[in-house]
Amino acid sequence: MRLQSILMSAVVIVSLSPVIALAKLPSSTSPVKSTPVATPTAQSTPILEQIKLTDAQKLKLRGIRSAKTRKINQLLTVDQRTKLQQQLKSGQKMSEALKTLGLKPENLQKITAVRRNAAQQIKATLTANQLKQLETYFKQHPSDPNSVE
């Protein structure tokens, strides 16, 4: 279970740009353009340098993160996306921020499934040594706002 939490955390950490550009997605309740969800910057994640991602891994992880963000955005209204973005920018953990959005239980379950799937994809992308380094990092930095999705 701890490894799954670590992997879900890695989904956020591997974001290598402040905000991933998203396709314009229709809101479930409004035709207004979607607001992309904020992601931590590379400067705030020293673990990226420690685990020494290859260029191919960086590219694959960007794709995983981008797909995850798009899928989550499809389940949120414009107001929910805006609120989530603000909370993430302020350093709140993804799991805590999601609780404040007033999501329908089925949407929260779908988002949880998307996050778990992304964590599994990341696990498959990283080497055993990189996974071990992540686990060690998270044990040493449990309160790092960027360490948990």
Summarize the confidence of residues 17-45 as an average pLDDT.
39
In a domain, 146, yes or no: no
Q: Is residue 145 part of a domain?
A: no
The count of structural domains within the chain is 1
Q: Is 60 exceeded by the pLDDT of residue 30?
A: no
Residue 149 lies in a domain: no
Per-residue pLDDT at 144: 54
Give 4's pLDDT tier (boundaries 50, 70, 90): low
Q: What are the pLDDT digits (tens) for 45-85?
A: 567 678 889 999 999 999 999 999 999 999 999 999 999 99
Domain that holds residue 63: 2-140
Name the residue with higher pLDDT: 107 or 144. 107
pLDDT band for position 138 (cuts 50, 70, 90)? confident
Secondary structure string (H, E, C) spanning the chain: CHHHHHHHHHHHHCCCCCECCCCCCCCCCCCCCCCCCECCCHHHCCHHHHHCCCHHHHHHHHHHHHHHHHHHHHCCCHHHHHHHHHHHHCCCCHHHHHHCCCCCHHHHHHHHHHHHHHHHHHHHHCCHHHHHHHHHHHHHCCCCCCCCC
- Residue 81 within a domain: yes
In a domain, 69, yes or no: yes
pTM: 0.65
Q: Is the pLDDT reported for residue 12 higher than 80?
A: no
pLDDT given at position 147: 43
